[in-house]
Amino acid sequence: MIKPPRRQGEYPDREIDCQEAKEPGFQAIVDCMIEAGWTRGEIMRSLKLLIAADNMTQKENAKVEA
């Protein structure tokens, strides 16, 4: 289970809390991928590409909704 934010709305450590909440799941995914034969470098590069693709999708969706 992923921990929710400590409180509603913005607060100073919200991004840190978000990072800490996803870290166990992220590490589990990385461990599984390494076990499957992928290198840490491949995993991190593919993660950057996934983030870039998601950002592009979000921008395109915002244009459609506007």
Residue 61 counted as domain residue: yes
Helices (H) and strands (E) in the chain, counts: 2, 0
pLDDT score of 19:
97
Residue 1 counted as domain residue: no
Residue 53 counted as domain residue: yes
Residue 8 counted as domain residue: no
Which domain does 19 fall in, by range?
A: 14-65
How many domains, the chain? 1
Residue 22 counted as domain residue: yes
Question: Tokens representing 66?
Answer: 């506007």
Dist CA 53 CA 26 (whole Å) = 18
pLDDT score of 1:
84
pLDDT score of 11:
97
Residue 6 counted as domain residue: no
| Amino acid at position 31, single letter | D
Residue 2 counted as domain residue: no
pLDDT score of 65:
85
Residue 7 counted as domain residue: no
pLDDT score of 31:
98
Query: What pLDDT tens digit does each residue of the chain (66 aa) get?
Result: 899 999 999 999 999 999 999 999 999 999 999 999 999 999 999 999 999 999 999 999 998 887
